Structure 1
Amino acid sequence: MPLQNRVQPDGEIIAHPARGGFMGNRGILHDEGGLHPKRRWAHQNWVCCVLSFKGRQRRLMAPRHYTELFFFDEAVAFAAGHRPCAECRSADYRLFRACCDVPGPAAALDRQLHAERAVPRVFQQRRHAEVEARDLPTGSFILDHEGRCGVLFGDAFYPYAPSGYGSAKPRPCGHVTLLTPPSSVAAFRAGYRPQIALKDSVD
């Protein structure tokens, strides 16, 4: 049975059998019974990591260790509020910081992202409504006019499902609801290109 550790762009954490493309960390979110029913973060340092680094091996959801979270691709990780890890993805982290308009140390970036991604005390995703779709760069996750969650890629909108992306639709016109934190969107606009697994798309 799959563990409840697959993070969705809309903030939900589900159990799903498909393998993720990246791993993430928000601290200890589980106990002996599995994922805590309400807790969704333990600190503000939400990182997005590679699946393999220096041969390290981990037992998933081990007691008193951080909860390993997984994302379909990097665009999903950004939508959920994560940023590149400074250790296992040091080059991506440096590029993201260079493209992101948030000065200061990593802690300052994490505070900014947390304010943009999370509703305090209720552990819910903060969403940004009334954003003009035509102004959003590739890699931005949105809810379209029909409430479908998906990623923007050029002039197309790809609806998202836990197992991959659906067929391309025209980019929506007018205002949409933005899921990706605005600071990450600003980094995309300035040249950071998040990995989007469109080759694994499904109909």
Structure 2
Amino acid sequence: MTLQNRVLPTGEIRAIPARGTFMGNRGILHNDDKTLGASRWKTKGWVTCVLSFKDRPKRELMAEGRYTELFFLDEAVALAAGHRPCSECRHDAYLAWREAWTKATGTRAFAPDMDACLHKARVRRDRSQVRHAAVADSLPEGAFLLWRDRPHLVTARGIHPYSPEGYGAPLTRPEGTVTVLTPEPTIAVLRHGFRPELHQSATGPAS
């Protein structure tokens, strides 16, 4: 049975067999039969975690009474969906994120404040994704834009079409204003130095 636990850059959570490289946590979202319930979050602290940490045993997915494990192709997808690095299992990434957030806002960053700001910028009460407009050339590496009805990752090489299995070859950035999937506060963090970990299909040689 393929569980409904794969998060897309457009915010949906789908049942997809392809394996992700990062895990996420928003609280307990599943039922006892391991189907996803109606809720898409139980906390504003949406974090991105490593698949394994120290000597902790492998988790049973969607176990009763434990948080719902969500999965992402890479960290850029997690950021587009509204997550941030976990302060425990990804402590160095969290510190880099917090430093970039502080630079972007001019105020010292604390997790509850960042989470509250992100929550307003990533999702509406009806669970739809908050999107915004920006000039394509202004977007930093690691951002996601919607181009021709498909999510694309921005890198220095261009924009890479997304699929749950990986990215396609880079295309030339479009001109003018585009729809951006990555929340505005996260775009600011990317502009101030945070570098997400990308899937190998986006970092390897162009085909």
Q: Which letter does structure 2 place at the counterpart of 1:160?
A: Y
Question: 1:35 matched to which residue of 2?
Answer: 35
Deviation of the 1:95 alpha carbon: 0.6
Distance 1:104 1:82 in 2: 16
Q: Aligned residue for 1:47?
A: 47
1:109 paired with 2:110, answer: no
Deviations 1:9-29 (A, max 9, x none): 000111111211000000010
The aligned residue for residue 13 of structure 2 is 13
Match of 2:62 in 1: 61
5+ long unaligned stretches in structure 1 = none
User: Match for residue 80 of structure 2?
Assistant: 79
1:138 counterpart residue number = 141
Equivalenced residue count is 200
1:152 matches 2:154 = yes
Equivalent residue letter for 2:94: Y
Q: Supply the AA of the counterpart residue of 1:13.
A: I
In terms of fraction of residues, the more strand-rich structure is 1
User: What is the alpha-carbon root mean square deviation over aligned residues?
Assistant: 1.7
CA–CA distance in structure 1, aligned partners of residues 9 and 169 of structure 2:
18
Which range moved further: 48-57 or 106-115? 48-57
Question: What is the CA-CA distance between 1:41 and the residue it aligns to?
Answer: 0.6
2:157 and 2:170 in contact (8 A); partners too: no
> Structure 1: which amino acid aligns with 2:23?
M
- 8 Å contact 1:38–1:123 — kept in the other structure? no
State the 1:198 CA deviation. Answer: 3.9
Q: CA deviation at 1:162?
A: 0.8
**CA distance in 2: counterparts of 1:148 and 1:174, whole angstroms:** 17
Instruction: Return the TM-score normalized by structure 1.
Output: 0.93
Map of 1:125 onto structure 2: 129
* Secondary structure at the counterpart of residue 78 of structure 2: helix
Distance 1:31 1:39 in 2: 10
State how far apart, in whole Å, the 2-side matches of 1:72 and 1:55 are: 24
Task: Give me the TM-score of the superposition, normalised by structure 2.
Answer: 0.91
